[in-house]
Amino acid sequence: MPQELLLAGPYDLQFRSYEKAPLKPGEVRAHAVLSGISHGTELNLYRGTSPFDQKRFDPDLRLFVEGTERSSYPMGLGYEWVGRVTEVGAQVENWQVGDLVHLPFNHRETHTFVAGRRTSFGPIVPLPPGLEPERGIVLALAGVALQAVHDAHVKLGDRVAVFGLGTIGLLTVQLVRLNGAAWVDAVDPLPTRRTLAKALGADRALDPGECDVGREIKAASPHHGADVAIEVSGHYPGLHEAIRSVRMAGTVVAAGYYQGSGTALRLGEEWHHNRVTMISSMGVWGCPHRDHPAWDRGRIHEVATELLRTGQLRTDGFITHRIPFARAPEAYERIDRHPEQVVKVVLTY
């Protein structure tokens, strides 16, 4: 029987078998090729540090409130899954056995879905020819990066700083350049990631452990700072340094998933004295695009797909570890304990 991966509690990953039901009319079944692990959202769930672990999100009030209605465990993990179609049900058009598909679903050996069903990324359609699994596996994260660049309103000639050079940050470096940034500073403590950022278009890569990043960025700019900083690490020290790096009345886009109290944020300093605008970038959980209805999550997904297909967004060197699905706990442990070794970890099937 096929298996799926479940989180039974913090740091407790388990496999569960499930049965494949016969296809109904309109359904398609695909077998996994790769699934990508999110080093932000998924790791916070894995560690038990997500706010959902202790609180409930009220969708009407848009407010986290104390207590949970029920135990959230066991839960599925994952939202980057690429599979190959193995069965097509009756009354299904435009799908064939062998098609590749990207699904925002959890880590498991197969998925069955309704052809054309709408998800948070728009309708489910086959991946276009030429977009192989190794690039398709970052589609959701490419959408996060594109949403952040849209929220930043980067203009032709802007100086931009990108904080955090994981998968989303490396994609963001490329997108701000495509959007017309004249200078891109890339910031991360890990040398492998800084090297990748330079290869993908950053003008300079800075190590926050070796220099005062805010001072370096401001001293090198004729306008005394970046016009825009995009923070995607999800760490409060990075967010504070992004605030320090922008010019008077500059913009900071916070696109990371921050956990716990922000003791590293000192909002009485540069944020207050430089009148910095800070924008939260979020494209899911019912949040509309700031240019809705001209743009929505489906259109973001379409553009990200095309940029990856044509090679305008490169993913060279992103996948540092391919770990068999049966050894998934090892993958999470490696990301948790040795982040310096990884950029993108994928499960293979």
CA atoms within 13 A on the CB side of 235: 13
Neighbour-count burial for 3-16, b at 16+ CB within 10 Å, e otherwise: bbbbbeeeeebeee
* Tens digit of each residue's pLDDT (9 = 90 or more) over 214-258: 999 999 999 999 999 999 999 999 999 999 999 999 999 999 999
pLDDT band at 71 (very low <50, low <70, confident <90, very high): low
Q: Is the pTM of this model over 0.85?
A: yes
pLDDT band at 51 (very low <50, low <70, confident <90, very high): confident
CA angle 204, 206, 208 (to 5 degrees): 165
* Tens digit of each residue's pLDDT (9 = 90 or more) over 163-195: 999 999 999 999 999 999 999 999 999 999 999
**Whether domain 3-138+318-348 has CATH 3.90.180.10:** yes
Domain ranges of the chain: 3-138+318-348, 140-280
What does the DSSP assignment read for 162-212?
EE--SHHHHHHHHHHHHTT-SEEEEE-S-HHHHHHHHHTT-SEEE-TTTS-
- Specify the CATH number of the domain 140-280: 3.40.50.720
Q: Is the pLDDT of residue 287 over 70?
A: yes
* Tens digit of each residue's pLDDT (9 = 90 or more) over 18-45: 999 999 999 999 999 999 999 989 999 9
Q: Tell me the torsion sign for CA atoms 304, 305, 307, 313.
A: positive
66 is written with which tokens?
């104390």
Alpha-carbon distance 223 to 231, whole Å?
Answer: 20
